[in-house]
């Protein structure tokens, strides 16, 4: 399960950026096409934050939905998985959204 | 949000000197902690990606081609490596980084072909990451202008997310696994620069629809090159060798 490694990367990045400040809240963006399961990250979060400055912090996860633009006909469309074709039948699409995997913001005690 | 009274508002909350404009009264016994919201907008895997870039630069400076081989367990990665080294090892000076959760069995198989190999055991980890590859490369110390083949942990999910600093990613599927693999694991196929369909010598004995497989791969990764071969018999192997030679720095 790579979500454990993903969650550890979140903790590591937040600790590097925020130093010793106790963290109250972490807000992540995990796109629906990112290959990362948000519920699994939630499951791992409490385990991985134990004993760190993030212990007890709340976790918010924003999940942008997938959007793509067809390179053949130019249409923009939503997609819930990577196998969806454009209505014109083309698989040649550029993903515009849905692959996000980032730390948007953190809230720390002053 | 205040855990005690449930009020919410600006991210910087004074110790309840705010006059209760938010329309309710607090009891005297608690105060809001003062907090600060910091926008990071940082990639979760930024650290791994940074280490991967260092690997990529290290490899490029030495003229080394590094290829990341990914598949489910048993697709034939090690067999493909053994044959490739026996038939091409002297020409390309191949060395191997082996990733497995446990054992040094695969590295032993590679060393038996005469190629240098280093085994990375990930323990409970399900993929190689850039830091592991950096350690592997330091141990392996591959010569300039050579080829490093990286056999990732057998897994069609997790390795797709972790950039190692390789120049190319190859996904291997065998006909005994079923033709639906690209549809079930599109992230992995989307990450591929090349797809190898292995064990084609077994096609007469298994129910595997090659066209369906190719269509699934096309949907996940339009335009991806797919080569069909048997690492056991050598049928179709020249296409793989040609692909490798074409990528030499």
Confidence at residue B30, expressed as pLDDT on a 0 to 100 scale: 65
Same domain? For B53 and B34 the reply is no
Q: Which two tokens stand for residue A93?
A: 């699409």
Whether the pLDDT of residue B153 is over 60: the answer is: yes
In chain A, which residue's Cα lies nearest the Cα of B14? A110
In a shared domain, residues B176 and B122: yes
Q: A10 with A76: CB under 8 angstroms?
A: no
In a domain, A70, yes or no: no
Task: Find the CATH number of the domain harbouring A43.
Answer: 3.30.2320.50
Nearest to A109 among B34, B129, B223 (CB): B34
B2 at the A interface (CB within 8 A)? Answer: no
**Per mean pLDDT, which range of A54-58, B118-122, B209-213 is the poorest?**
B118-122
Task: Find the domain containing B4 and state its range.
Answer: 1-38
Chain A contact set for B41 (CB, 8 A) = 102-105
B30 and B89 both lie in a single domain? no
> Which chain A residues are closer than 8 Å to B223 by Cβ?
92
pLDDT tens for each residue of A28-44 = 999 999 999 999 999 99
B75-134 residues touching A, CB cutoff 8 A: 125-127, 129
Do B228 and B113 lie in one domain? The reply is yes
pLDDT of residue B6: 36
How far off is chain A from B153, nearest CA to CA, in Å?
12
pLDDT at B205 over 50: yes
Whole-angstrom distance, CA of residue B28 vs CA of residue A17: 36
* Region B105-118 average pLDDT: 91
Residue B28: its pLDDT value, please?
56
* Res. A109: pLDDT tops 80: yes
Residue bearing the bigger pLDDT, B79 or B12: B79
Which range of residues forms the domain containing residue A58? 2-65+98-108
Same-domain pairing of B123 and B8: no
pLDDT, averaged across chain B: 88
Residue of B nearest to A84 (CA): B219
Say if the Cβ atoms of B158 and A1 lie within 8 Å: yes
Mean pLDDT, to the nearest integer, of B9-19? 36
- Interface check for A102 against chain B (CB to CB < 8 A): the answer is yes
How far is B184 from B188, CA to CA, in rounded Å? 9
Domain count within chain A: 1
């Amino acid at each position: 399960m790579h979500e454990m490694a993903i969650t550890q990367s979140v903790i590591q990045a937040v600790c590097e950026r925020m130093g010793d400040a106790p963290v109250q809240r972490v807000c992540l963006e995990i796109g629906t096409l990112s290959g990362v399961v948000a519920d699994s990250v939630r499951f791992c979060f409490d385990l991985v934050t134990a004993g760190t400055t993030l212990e007890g912090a709340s976790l918010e996860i924003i999940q942008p939905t997938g959007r793509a633009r067809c390179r053949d006909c130019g249409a923009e469309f939503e997609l819930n998985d990577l196998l969806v074709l454009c209505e014109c039948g083309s698989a040649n699409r550029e993903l515009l959204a849905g692959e996000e995997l980032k730390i948007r913001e953190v809230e720390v005690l002053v | 949000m205040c855990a005690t009274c449930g009020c919410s508002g600006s991210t910087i909350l004074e110790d309840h000197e705010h006059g209760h404009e938010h329309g309710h009264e607090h009891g005297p016994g608690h105060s809001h902690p003062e907090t600060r919201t910091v926008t990071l907008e940082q990639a979760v895997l930024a650290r791994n990606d940074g280490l991967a870039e260092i690997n990529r630069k290290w490899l490029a400076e030495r003229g080394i081609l590094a290829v990341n081989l990914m598949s489910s367990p048993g697709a034939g990665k090690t067999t493909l490596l053994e044959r490739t080294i026996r038939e091409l090892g002297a020409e390309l000076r191949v060395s191997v980084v082996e990733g497995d959760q446990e054992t040094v069995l695969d590295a032993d198989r590679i060393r038996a072909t005469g190629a240098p190999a280093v085994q990375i055991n990930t323990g409970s980890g399900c993929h190689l990451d850039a830091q592991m590859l950096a350690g592997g490369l330091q141990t392996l110390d591959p010569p300039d202008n050579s080829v490093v083949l990286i056999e990732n942990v057998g897994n069609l999910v997790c390795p797709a997310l972790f950039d190692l600093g390789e120049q190319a990613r190859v996904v291997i599927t065998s006909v005994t696994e079923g033709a639906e693999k690209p549809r079930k694991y599109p992230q992995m196929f989307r990450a591929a620069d090349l797809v190898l369909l292995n064990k084609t010598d077994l096609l007469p004995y298994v129910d595997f629809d090659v066209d369906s497989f190719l269509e699934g791969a096309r949907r996940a990764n339009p335009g991806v090159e797919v080569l069909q071969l048997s690492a056991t018999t050598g049928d179709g192997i020249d296409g793989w060798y040609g692909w490798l030679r074409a990528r030499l720095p």
